[in-house]
């Protein structure tokens, strides 16, 4: 069974640009979450989608947005990039059940210059 796939794995952008990151969850999983990981703040929750609906959002500015498609694939977008947006962006899929076990992808490492 294929795991969570994130693309691209690495990317470099300059301040003011925008970026779109993609996530394909495990087959059959309908819930996708996004987290930002930085050395200073650790993993911080961005948003969570289930069946194309955002059902939870973290404390990030409106420059961070996301969506989920009918096939459960998800994208997140960051507009007007700032230096502080440099981070590892992790996508996780969840298959249901009380435990809420999240399966993470390997992440997209964004560097903003």
Partner 1 sequence: QKEVEQDPGPLSVPEGAIVSLNCTYSNSAFQYFMWYRQYSRKGPELLMYTYSSGNKEDGRFTAQVDKSSKYISLFIRDSQPSDSATYLCAMRGSGAGSYQLTFGKGTKLSVIP
Q: Is 45 in the site for partner 1 (CB under 8 A)?
A: yes
32 in Cβ contact with 23 (< 8 Å): yes
Told to check if 98 binds partner 1 by CB under 8 A, we report yes
87 interacts with partner 1 by CB under 8 A: no
Pick between residue 16 and residue 96 the one whose CB is nearest to partner 1. Answer: 96
Number of shown-chain residues binding partner 1 (CB under 8 A):
26
> Residue from 24, 68, 72, 94 that binds partner 1 (CB under 8 A)?
94
3-state secondary structure at position 111: strand
> Number of C-alpha atoms within 13 angstroms, CB side, residue 23?
32
Are the beta carbons of 50 and 66 closer than 8 angstroms? Answer: no
């Amino acid at each position: 069974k294929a795991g969570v796939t994130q693309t691209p794995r690495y990317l470099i952008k300059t301040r003011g640009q925008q970026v779109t990151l993609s996530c394909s969850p495990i087959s059959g999983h309908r819930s996708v979450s996004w987290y930002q990981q930085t050395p200073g703040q650790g993993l911080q929750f961005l948003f969570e989608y289930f069946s194309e609906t955002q059902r939870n959002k973290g404390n990030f500015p409106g420059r961070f947005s996301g969506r989920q498609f009918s096939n459960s694939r998800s994208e997140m977008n960051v507009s007007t990039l700032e230096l502080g947006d440099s981070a590892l962006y992790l996508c996780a899929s969840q298959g249901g059940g009380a435990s809420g076990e999240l399966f993470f992808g390997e992440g997209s490492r964004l560097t903003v210059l």
